[in-house]
Amino acid sequence: MGSTFGHLFRVTTFGESHGGGVGVVIDGCPPLVEISAAEIQRELDRRRPGQSKITTPRKEADACEILSGVFEGRTTGTPIAILVRNKDTRSQDYTEMIQAYRPSHADATYDAKYGIRNWQGGGRASARETIGRVAAGAIAKKILQQAAGVEIIGYVKRIQHLEAVVDPHTVTLEQVESNIVRCPDQEAAVKMIDLIEQIRLNQDSIGGVVELVARNVPKGLGEPVFDKLEADLAKGIMSLPATKGFEIGSGFAGT
Amino acid sequence: MGSTFGHLFRVTTFGESHGGGVGVVIDGCPPLVEISAAEIQRELDRRRPGQSKITTPRKEADACEILSGVFEGRTTGTPIAILVRNKDTRSQDYTEMIQAYRPSHADATYDAKYGIRNWQGGGRASARETIGRVAAGAIAKKILQQAAGVEIIGYVKRIQHLEAVVDPHTVTLEQVESNIVRCPDQEAAVKMIDLIEQIRLNQDSIGGVVELVARNVPKGLGEPVFDKLEADLAKGIMSLPATKGFEIGSGFAGT
Amino acid sequence: MGSTFGHLFRVTTFGESHGGGVGVVIDGCPPLVEISAAEIQRELDRRRPGQSKITTPRKEADACEILSGVFEGRTTGTPIAILVRNKDTRSQDYTEMIQAYRPSHADATYDAKYGIRNWQGGGRASARETIGRVAAGAIAKKILQQAAGVEIIGYVKRIQHLEAVVDPHTVTLEQVESNIVRCPDQEAAVKMIDLIEQIRLNQDSIGGVVELVARNVPKGLGEPVFDKLEADLAKGIMSLPATKGFEIGSGFAGT
Amino acid sequence: MGSTFGHLFRVTTFGESHGGGVGVVIDGCPPLVEISAAEIQRELDRRRPGQSKITTPRKEADACEILSGVFEGRTTGTPIAILVRNKDTRSQDYTEMIQAYRPSHADATYDAKYGIRNWQGGGRASARETIGRVAAGAIAKKILQQAAGVEIIGYVKRIQHLEAVVDPHTVTLEQVESNIVRCPDQEAAVKMIDLIEQIRLNQDSIGGVVELVARNVPKGLGEPVFDKLEADLAKGIMSLPATKGFEIGSGFAGT
């Protein structure tokens, strides 16, 4: 349990950092949605670490394959399975982990809960698990756009004390993609990159705040009372590794 | 859909502000848990508005009845149904709502989504829906306490700019219950009550931040990857009417 | 778990033969369906034992109350809770059951599984649990009829060796209701009633076969591959106490 | 929806007769269960058509690959994904199906429901979908055997009028596997094979009855009231393509 999200558009991810691969099965996708492996790949490429000098340097090609559910470029209403092979699995790099848990990773918790873990890497708790989510999200985005013209844009809003100034009504994907830290405020972006570089030199890492804006959202999405839209969004976001907070609308400032 | 929360301990609430009553069905409660209507009532009484001059003045007795699932003071493993009758339904007070939506309530959204609403009051979006949650929570708390000695305490941490100083390791229920705003920092509590009174005089209301602490939590609760404990907590909290933010651990300060 | 059936039209029953009552919560019912307690009562009255000399003589009034989800005669899209109070609970009749399990009842199994049972009667395994199903079925029938003109009729097809001759295309509810065994073949019905009387005199009971016909069923109901219509029907029927077989279409004769 | 079965041991199948492959994701499998691709393959080989002259002649190698959830020969508690590649997809054989629906197949129903279908073959309704079920079943069998010594054996009980005489208490897998029709009554098996050959010569096919026996089943499996063991078994069996009936225990003979 725990690897499935959603009811009607039901996303089940699988896979660990090491082993055959990671992926997703999406059940309940409407038929006749135009989707291609190339579109999904575009989102996966954005997720992929090692794109710039400021992110995790591990190289991953992450080429996706649609195994089922799409025929002649359109969804058929049957489950869409997408697979990304694991590569570059230098498990010898990890042999010391047979003995020792990595600090601040889920290794110890997995051992306590299951009595076994794949010591070759992050296992199921690896950020590679999000590959399945990104692939599912690429399709969900397509549906929302085709059905109601919904636009969704995410960007880095804050790194430590550096806060970007962004107008959520007008921000564009091009602005977000124009720098390696994905912050549409170019001035703030330069400072953020500098800060990250400094912290990397001290062999440390640093957190931040991501902001997402959805435009043209139809009225009445979500279901009362437990499956409200904000509740499901919070669950999705808080289930990502290492997230610690979620705000919607006026957020904590509303008090 | 949307009225059920959880998988193994599955909570389904029902009821609106007006009509026969509100309540809950809990499926999957383990057998042999000692529970009485009086214990559930104690938590319901804490939820009930109209306990003091600073909260909503509407009077509600909210006496609960256990319809099933408990025999001779212990749960039987079968569904526990709990009913609280609606009383004091002066629907004539609401007749003007046939014509007009109340501002900042869910009235308009319900009409847009369902094409019908119970105009006699808040309907399903009423805070009375949380009666079912509180009753289920009373039982959940009992299970956690019996099984692992878990202690859960919640209190008001902030009202507007007034922030309480509370040590989550030592705070007690007695401290929380010692004033009408339920803030264990007595000095802050006095200021908070004053502030609320002032704002009430201006015919306005005000938000705040509630903090919850759980002690003796066993390792390994929750399920990777979507049903992590923090994800389910976030969903539960964010599904409450008018909540706008959720933090866990270091929260936003962690950046 | 186990007390919920269905995904979009989600039926959760609760209650035991003894205690406050039995009932159902239906989540996901579409709004604007016309339904009244009287219509539900009509179906409950058909279920009720003690209507004739050939069925279980226990008297039950089984008056239902709609607690929520219906406003001014129409569903609102919110959960519909229906309650039927338990009456006539002469628990002294059952005191010998504290010591002994009744043969061929679920008493022993419940004790083995849960370590506790309500010894006052059938408990959760009582046929009274089906009151919630019948109430939910009354609403489901109404939806199917309003949406697509679907007609559903059930009748006794066989008692032991006595098989009725019924044309499923033309059989009417009036024919079914015209005798106390609810068999639309009047000749067979007379023989069936005689047979049941004889067996009752020998202090025994007897099984039979019920046939259901649905007319005007729209194409494409059900979901491939596990939630096929025939699979969900089979599950529903086989979850009734004491059912032992299910056939659809040509059934076993198809071999 | 519809491609997932079960709650705690949750099986999600994917894939069509044509395209990248078919498979399954199993979420909720306990950790530390010993399982290998070879064991799963053994069950898949039994399912595979084309093993003898009496079954569908299409050749399929159906080699399975465990993509995740198993480490050093044991399950890890994380989702187990298993993939079987589609081979031998001579889609030119099917081109006439662009225009015409095959009689008694699900082609027309899929088109009515989804407005699109993979005309290259049976698509999602193909019996190849059951590959995922067989793989999941291989693991489920292993768990039941390790946990409680449960033994499950299935065999052909009847072909048209030819009924085998089998003692469910003593029948062995070796007896079942000793002939190509998988009927442990050797005399009946010879007649069955003859009958099938004759019917094949007339370019027709024929149905039958399969019987399953489970030994050493622990008390209390299944959940009241909708998820009774017999209800879930019925659902599983009736969701297989072309099944028309289900009996348990005394079945229809019990009347």
Chain D residue with Cα closest to C220: D113
pLDDT band for B22, please (50, 70, 90 cuts). Answer: very high
Q: Indicate the helix (H) or strand (E) that contains D158.
A: strand D151-159
Out of D14, D20, D27, whose CB is closest to A79? D14
- Give the pLDDT score at D60: 52
- Give the pLDDT score at D161: 93
Using the Cβ of D224 and the Cβ atoms of chain B, whether some distance falls under 8 Å is answered with yes
Mean pLDDT taken over chain D: 91
D80 interaction partners in chain A (CB closer than 8 Å):
14
Distance in angstroms (rounded) separating the CA atoms of residues B60 and B81: 20
D117 interaction partners in chain A (CB closer than 8 Å):
71, 76
Using the Cβ of B220 and the Cβ atoms of chain D, whether some distance falls under 8 Å is answered with no
Neighbours of C56 (CB within 10 A): 12
pLDDT higher than threshold 90 for residue D89: no
Q: Do B115 and C16 touch (CB under 8 A)?
A: no
- Domain range list for chain D: 1-150, 152-215
pLDDT band for B56, please (50, 70, 90 cuts). Answer: low
Structure tokens at C156: 């006794």
Mean pLDDT taken over chain A: 91
D neighbour chains, 3+ CB pairs within 8 Å: A, B, C
Using the Cβ of A201 and the Cβ atoms of chain B, whether some distance falls under 8 Å is answered with no
Out of D12, D16, D115, whose CB is closest to A31? D115
pLDDT band for A155, please (50, 70, 90 cuts). Answer: very high
pLDDT digits (tens, 9 = 90+) for C153-184: 999 999 999 999 999 999 999 999 999 999 99
- Give the pLDDT score at C104: 74
Query: For the whole prediction, is pTM greater than 0.90?
Result: yes
Q: Do B246 and A226 touch (CB under 8 A)?
A: no
Interface mutation vs chain B, best among C10, C116, C133, most B CBs within 10 Å: C116
One-letter amino acid of B199: I
Query: Which residues are CB-neighbours of D30 under 8 A, at least 6 positions away?
Result: D75, D77, D143
- Give the pLDDT score at A57: 53
Interface mutation vs chain B, best among A26, A235, A237, most B CBs within 10 Å: A235
pLDDT band for D111, please (50, 70, 90 cuts). Answer: confident
pLDDT higher than threshold 80 for residue C84: yes
pLDDT band for A88, please (50, 70, 90 cuts). Answer: low
A neighbour chains, 3+ CB pairs within 8 Å: B, C, D
ipTM rounded to 2 decimals: 0.93
Question: Ramachandran region of residue B66, left (φ > 0), alpha (ψ -120 to 50) or beta?
Answer: beta
pLDDT digits (tens, 9 = 90+) for C113-162: 999 988 888 899 999 999 999 999 999 999 999 999 999 999 999 999 99
Listed by number, the residues of chain C in 107-126 with a beta carbon closer than 8 Å to a beta carbon of chain B are 110, 113-118, 123-124
Q: Do A7 and B1 touch (CB under 8 A)?
A: yes
- As its CATH architecture, domain B1-150 has 4-Layer Sandwich (3.60)
Query: Who has greater pLDDT, A121 or C90?
Result: A121
Q: Is the dihedral of CA A209, A254, B3, B27 positive or negative?
A: positive
Q: What's the gap in Å between the CA of B11 and the closest CA on chain A? A: 10
Cα–Cα nearest to D151, from D217, D101, D204, D250: D217
D2 interaction partners in chain A (CB closer than 8 Å):
27
pLDDT higher than threshold 80 for residue A206: yes
D224 interaction partners in chain B (CB closer than 8 Å):
78
Using the Cβ of D9 and the Cβ atoms of chain C, whether some distance falls under 8 Å is answered with no
Listed by number, the residues of chain B in 159-198 with a beta carbon closer than 8 Å to a beta carbon of chain A are 159-160
- Give the pLDDT score at B93: 60
Structure tokens at A250: 């006026």
Q: Do A68 and D2 touch (CB under 8 A)?
A: no
Q: Please report the number of interchain residue pairs, chain A to chain D, with beta-carbon separation below 8 angstroms.
A: 152
pLDDT band for D103, please (50, 70, 90 cuts). Answer: confident
pLDDT higher than threshold 90 for residue B156: yes
Using the Cβ of A28 and the Cβ atoms of chain B, whether some distance falls under 8 Å is answered with no
- Give the pLDDT score at A255: 79
Q: Do A67 and D114 touch (CB under 8 A)?
A: no
Out of C7, C78, C224, whose CB is closest to A7? C7
Distance in angstroms (rounded) separating the CA atoms of residues B40 and B24: 12
One-letter amino acid of B123: G
Mean pLDDT taken over chain B: 91
Distance in angstroms (rounded) separating the CA atoms of residues C39 and C37: 5
Q: Do D78 and B224 touch (CB under 8 A)?
A: yes
Helix orientation angle between D37-47 and D130-148, rounded to the nearest 10 degrees: 130
Tell how strand D4-5 and strand C4-5 pair up. unpaired
Distance in angstroms (rounded) separating the CA atoms of residues C229 and C216: 15
Q: Do B1 and C78 touch (CB under 8 A)?
A: no
Out of C207, C233, C239, whose CB is closest to D228? C239
Using the Cβ of B78 and the Cβ atoms of chain D, whether some distance falls under 8 Å is answered with yes
pLDDT digits (tens, 9 = 90+) for A16-57: 999 999 999 999 999 999 999 999 999 999 998 777 767 655
Enumerate the β-bridge partners of residue C12.
Answer: C4, C25
Q: What's the gap in Å between the CA of C31 and the closest CA on chain D? A: 22
Tell how strand C4-5 and strand B245-247 pair up. unpaired
Q: What's the gap in Å between the CA of A17 and the closest CA on chain D? A: 9
B7 interaction partners in chain D (CB closer than 8 Å):
7
Out of C219, C225, C254, whose CB is closest to D3? C225
pLDDT higher than threshold 60 for residue A91: no
Contact B40, B26 (CB under 8 A): no
pLDDT band for B58, please (50, 70, 90 cuts). Answer: low
Lowest model confidence (mean pLDDT) among A180-189, B59-68, C240-249, D77-86:
B59-68
Q: Do B248 and A244 touch (CB under 8 A)?
A: yes
Q: Percent of chain C having pLDDT more than 90?
A: 76
pLDDT higher than threshold 60 for residue C59: no
Q: Do D4 and A22 touch (CB under 8 A)?
A: no
- Give the pLDDT score at D216: 97
Q: Which residue has the tokens 């008390």?
A: D219
Q: Do D2 and C245 touch (CB under 8 A)?
A: no
Q: Cα–Cα distances in Å, from B168 out to B146, B158, B171, B193, B249?
A: 21, 14, 5, 22, 12
Using the Cβ of D254 and the Cβ atoms of chain C, whether some distance falls under 8 Å is answered with yes
Q: What's the gap in Å between the CA of D70 and the closest CA on chain C? A: 25
Q: Do A246 and B249 touch (CB under 8 A)?
A: no
Interface mutation vs chain C, best among D160, D238, D248, most C CBs within 10 Å: D238
Q: Which residue has the tokens 């058909």?
A: C46
- Give the pLDDT score at C118: 82
pLDDT digits (tens, 9 = 90+) for D165-193: 999 999 999 999 999 999 999 999 999 99
Chain D residue with Cα closest to B225: D78
C78 interaction partners in chain A (CB closer than 8 Å):
224
pLDDT band for B98, please (50, 70, 90 cuts). Answer: confident
pLDDT higher than threshold 60 for residue D4: yes
Distance in angstroms (rounded) separating the CA atoms of residues C29 and C12: 13
Averaged pLDDT for residues B78-96: 79
Q: Percent of chain D having pLDDT more than 70?
A: 93
Out of B3, B25, B124, whose CB is closest to C14? B25
Averaged pLDDT for residues A85-89: 78
pLDDT higher than threshold 60 for residue B89: no
Q: Do A123 and D74 touch (CB under 8 A)?
A: no
Distance in angstroms (rounded) separating the CA atoms of residues D197 and D189: 12
Q: Which residue has the tokens 């190289």?
A: A59
Query: Who has greater pLDDT, A71 or C50?
Result: A71
Using the Cβ of A42 and the Cβ atoms of chain D, whether some distance falls under 8 Å is answered with no
pLDDT higher than threshold 90 for residue A99: no
Lowest model confidence (mean pLDDT) among A30-34, C86-90, D110-114, D136-140:
C86-90
Out of B7, B78, B224, whose CB is closest to D7? B7
Averaged pLDDT for residues B217-244: 95
Cα–Cα nearest to D143, from D27, D30, D46: D30
Q: Do A78 and C224 touch (CB under 8 A)?
A: yes
- Give the pLDDT score at B100: 78
Enumerate the β-bridge partners of residue A159.
Answer: A162, A208
Chain B residue with Cα closest to D225: B78
Q: What's the gap in Å between the CA of D32 and the closest CA on chain B? A: 17
pLDDT band for B182, please (50, 70, 90 cuts). Answer: very high
Q: Do D4 and C226 touch (CB under 8 A)?
A: yes
Q: What's the gap in Å between the CA of C16 and the closest CA on chain B? A: 6
Lowest model confidence (mean pLDDT) among A63-67, B119-123, D245-249:
B119-123
C118 interaction partners in chain B (CB closer than 8 Å):
71, 76
Chain D residue with Cα closest to A65: D20
Averaged pLDDT for residues C44-73: 81
